[in-house]
Structure 1
């Protein structure tokens, strides 16, 4: 009887100890959870002698802590990009507006010659067009984000659109000191895309080359691995790997391009439009040459039927 009493007493003591540990661990976990809710940054939860149940709970709490910290870092990064974007937008809008107001003030003074007046009006028109294009870019990006940019998929000859646009800007490129060479075969397969969006994409790439490029522009198109690979290569100042990784970011421009009437939105619009149409784009830089390459997917039903007939 005495032995039974001793055993029961020992068991009761052991139970009390284990219960006390359980209560202590649970309180500690509750404290960590309160810290997690009240602090911006929390340490991972650890326990000296966790039970199996508490160990699983600790793992889940630590996963929650990791997720919270990742969300906080992501929020801070997005907040930084947002403020930088606002700063860039303000700069891009202020620059042409300041020029327009300045030249209009000089014109209103009535102290300029007819030649100066004509020159000032040309500058005002150029800056006004720049501002209009900037506002249009912001509007289009907003529509793309909201899914309100209507895209009508049809079979499009992207090389024909490229040739027509290149013909329109050829004289402007030559006047800016570019040597232009193009190879856009007229018999290339058609791709499934929206005609207006294709026009916008190629136009933006050409504008980007004219604004930031120099010396030469090489435009090439070839069929390769189920795609029309269309490349635009131009002479360029040195572009670092970091700058290259951001060329499709919104409102991103190098510091030097900020003096070159740049909005930093053109290539971002290109990437968004191409992605929504099922195509792709990338940027490369090597030995003074900057290249934008568009991959137009030609795996359309018509193309597949034509391939089958040729075989």
Structure 2
């Protein structure tokens, strides 16, 4: 009996020793794989040859960490690219009016100019200065909105009446551009939770963008969906055909670098950031030559 017990203990010990050696070898193999991956000699993820739940779990977590690192690195590179593009664009947008201002100041210093020319040059300088001021104000506002400690005070707002009030304020702007918008608002009241000041800013930015860039027929509607209230603007946008309309919300993006002097290129980006802060969404879709911008809030009772 003692001999049998001894044999069993030796067998168990041998099995444990073999398993330990196999674990040791597998850990060494995983370490080698991880080393090659960290040195960028391979993009292959960890795999386990030995069937062991603990080792498989470890390899899974290593692979998960690798995926998180790749995602973080991708986001970092994209942020760096966007930042460089933003710097390039804001440099262009600041340099253009500044160059113009300096040029007209030199003209004003000339002794040969007439009083009429002087008034004309002063008007141009004022216009370029206002453009520069608007650009810097928008840039500062966007940086404040996107800061982590920026918060909004949400409350229950009745949207139909609020939208009607905002739209009335844009009557003259649309009329000056010879645009007669097709406005479709419901008779019923709809309520959402939002910050009123931020909501007004979002809607006004969208309408200003339409005034500046829309041509032809413009449809502005507000509808109740199953769980959301959707404010939608649809207008012709032939210049955007074939492009990524989501770029419209990027800082300083413009489909036309010869945009009007009053455009800062930040209006839609500010609107999207505010919607995100309010828990809503702002998206764009292209249907043929029609651009559809959709602003969506969650309905409340």
8 A Cα contact 1:41 1:69, kept in partner: no
Correspondence for 1:259: 259
Shift of 1:183: 4.2
CA distance in 2, matches of 1:15, 1:151: 62
Number of residue pairs aligned between Structure 1 and Structure 2: 297
Per-residue CA distance 1:215-254 (angstroms, 9 max, x = gap): 3433333445465433323332242465212222333322
CA distance in 2, matches of 1:17, 1:189: 72
Stretch deviating more after TM superposition (85-94 or 148-157) = 148-157
Q: TM-score, normalised by structure 2?
A: 0.76
CA distance in 1, matches of 2:227, 2:15: 73
CA distance in 2, matches of 1:179, 1:238: 21
Shift of 1:204: 0.6
CA distance in 2, matches of 1:170, 1:54: 68
The reply on whether 1:69 has 2:70 as its aligned counterpart is: yes
Per-residue CA distance 1:28-55 (angstroms, 9 max, x = gap): 3333334444548643345666766555
8 A Cα contact 1:160 1:186, kept in partner: no
Correspondence for 1:292: 293
Q: Which runs of 5+ in 1 are unaligned?
A: 1-8, 301-311
Call closer, same or farther: CA 1:107–1:76 in 2, change over 3 Å.
same
Stretch deviating more after TM superposition (68-77 or 147-156) = 147-156
The reply on whether 1:209 has 2:238 as its aligned counterpart is: no
After TM superposition, the structure 1 = structure 2 runs for residues 53-132 of structure 1, keeping only pairs within 5 Å, are 54-132=55-133
After TM superposition, the structure 1 = structure 2 runs for residues 230-309 of structure 1, keeping only pairs within 5 Å, are 230-240=231-241, 242-254=243-255, 256-257=256-257, 259-261=259-261, 262-300=263-301
8 A Cα contact 2:193 2:299, kept in partner: yes
Per-residue CA distance 1:59-93 (angstroms, 9 max, x = gap): 44333333333332232222222222222222232
8 A Cα contact 2:151 2:277, kept in partner: no
Q: Which runs of 5+ in 2 are unaligned?
A: 1-9
Shift of 1:209: 1.0
After TM superposition, the structure 1 = structure 2 runs for residues 164-203 of structure 1, keeping only pairs within 5 Å, are 164-184=165-185, 188-203=189-204
Shift of 1:155: 4.4
Call closer, same or farther: CA 1:106–1:180 in 2, change over 3 Å.
farther
Stretch deviating more after TM superposition (260-269 or 155-164) = 155-164
8 A Cα contact 1:174 1:180, kept in partner: no
CA distance in 1, matches of 2:188, 2:56: 67
Shift of 1:20: 6.0
Per-residue CA distance 1:248-282 (angstroms, 9 max, x = gap): 2333322x245334433211221222232343333
Call closer, same or farther: CA 1:25–1:292 in 2, change over 3 Å.
closer
Equivalent position SS for 2:249: coil
RMSD, aligned CA: 3.9
Shift of 1:200: 1.1
After TM superposition, the structure 1 = structure 2 runs for residues 220-235 of structure 1, keeping only pairs within 5 Å, are 220-225=221-226, 227-235=228-236
